[in-house]
Amino acid sequence: MGQGVLTAGFTRVEGELQAEGVPLSRIAEAAGTPAFVYSAGLIRERYRALDSALAAVPHRVHYTLKANSSRAILRLLHGLGCRADVVSGGELHRARLAGFAGDEIIFGGVGKSEDELREALHAGVAMLNVESEAEVRAIGRIAAETGLAARVSLRVNPEVTVEAAHHYIKTGERGHKFGIPIDDALHVARVAASLPGVTLVGLDMHLGSMLSQVEPYRAGAERLAQLCREVRAAGITTLRHLDLGGGLSVRYADERPLDPAEFAAAVVPIVQATGLELIVEPGRFIVGNAGLLLTRVLYRKHSGGKEYAIADAGMTELLRPSYYHAYHRIEAVRPVAGTGRLDVVGPVCESGDFLALERTMDDPAPGDLLAVFDAGAYGYVMASNYNSRRRPAEVLVDGDRFAVVTARESYDDLVAREVDQPDWRP
């Protein structure tokens, strides 16, 4: 049996792994595998920990849908008073279906289409986080055309150096595609303030994901506070929010995750001095540790001196190991006899399809269930239909009850939007 520290929400009872009060084998029986399993209790706990850490300053937590946009989780968070942060028309649609009102939603993203901008304004979103002068001018045009009010916040690239697990998840360093370069921000603020129908309500940054150091947040917040003073000195008096983005790290292996109290201690005084409301956009922090991927070993294989466990889940369900070389702890759901050193691979026709490489871990037999931990964020949302695989089920556990909250896709789902007879046009 593995020696890893079990994530709260997932514990062993008489040797068998449970999600809250429900044995994972019971879930596998009812929902099949592969399946994502989430702990509602852990999601509540994470939201409340962050919300209460920020209590000293007026603030809003806008959960970032890109981490996990399952409607059941969105409804759960909405019920706790959490708001939403979306980056596409599709995420806006999901947020609305889950009950978020327009003014509880921030719409961000570096490449919003004109249709998406219109949809956001029609929905009455709290603000659009804009990333370029061209975008703010496009918003001004649409606001003038439609007569709809546009509240905007400038996503600034504060050009802060960060340490993150992978360079794909850094976003706030000099030269990145995201945000308005800090030196251009005052100019764009003036442009925004000059456009009829557009109100500049905030300044925003997002430095990257899996940030475990507080220093970049402090440095970035100070740059935004300085920009706030410059914007006000330029006679713009409409600022209301300072948005420090997401990125708080969680534990996957033995990293030290960023403590929300430490984060708050670093940034709250800076925000307080501006008199603005603090916004944060966490994703991974809320859901990362609150989910696991449940998969069954199909076969064992020995090849070229290596041991393989071939599971029924792989890169199509959880892309992070292949894409970021991310580590996810894996344990057998029921105790197994010993440990081995093995690759856990999926059924996809790619050599890069794996969940773990050369891992010393529980040595499972065909038919055994494995739990791939800490898969609540950037798991299901990055799942694909490659190899015409059906995206898995999602199961929410709350105490001693569980529910399938997203059904496994059917073969018909896979082909539902394809046409048999093409409707050729000249």
Task: Say which DSSP state 334 is in.
Answer: S
Question: What single-letter amino acid sits at 61?
Answer: V
Residue from 13, 349, 416, 419 carrying the catalytic annotation:
349
Q: Is 289 in the site for ligand PLP (CB under 6 A)?
A: no
Neighbours of 305 (CB within 10 A): 5
CB of 301 to ligand PLP, least distance (A): 35
CB of 281 to ligand PLP, least distance (A): 4
Parallel, antiparallel, or unpaired for β 105-107 and 277-280?
unpaired
Nearer to ligand PLP, 220 or 247 (CB): 247
Nearer to ligand PLP, 33 or 68 (CB): 68
- Which residues between 149 and 208 bind ligand PLP (CB under 6 A)? 206
- Compute the distance between CA of residue 366 and CA of residue 298 in angstroms, rounded to an integer: 5
DSSP, collapsed to helix, strand or coil, labels residue 194 as helix
Question: Is 228 among the residues known to form the active site?
Answer: no
CB of 40 to ligand PLP, least distance (A): 19
Give the range of 239-247, 267-275, 367-375, 417-425 binding ligand PLP by CB under 6 A.
239-247
Token pair 């603030």: residue: 59
Give the range of 2-10, 227-235, 282-290, 315-323 binding ligand PLP by CB under 6 A.
282-290
- Signed CA dihedral, 128, 102, 62, 371: sign only: negative
Residues in contact with ligand PLP, shown as a per-residue x/- string from 59 to 98 under the rule CB under 6 A: -----x-xx-----------------x-------------
CB of 332 to ligand PLP, least distance (A): 29
- Compute the distance between CA of residue 144 and CA of residue 147 in angstroms, rounded to an integer: 5
Residues in contact with ligand PLP, shown as a per-residue x/- string from 365 to 394 under the rule CB under 6 A: ------------x-----------------
- Which residues between 242 and 261 bind ligand PLP (CB under 6 A)? 245-248
Of 397, 322, 311, the closest CA to residue 361 belongs to: 311
CB of 302 to ligand PLP, least distance (A): 39
What is the separation, in whole angstroms, between the first and last Cα of the chain? 64
**Angle at the Cα of 53 from the Cα atoms of 50 and 55, rounded to 5 degrees:** 110
As given in the structure block, the two tokens for residue 259 are: 């403590």
* Total number of residues that touch ligand PLP (CB under 6 A): 17
Neighbours of 368 (CB within 10 A): 18
CB of 57 to ligand PLP, least distance (A): 19
Q: Is 281 in the site for ligand PLP (CB under 6 A)?
A: yes
As given in the structure block, the two tokens for residue 424 are: 């050729």
Q: Is 209 in the site for ligand PLP (CB under 6 A)?
A: yes
Q: Determine the angle formed by the axes of helices 260-274 and 215-233, rounding to 10 degrees.
A: 10
Active site residues: 349
Which residues make up the interface to ligand PLP (CB under 6 A)? 64, 66-67, 85, 108, 206, 209, 245-248, 281-285, 377
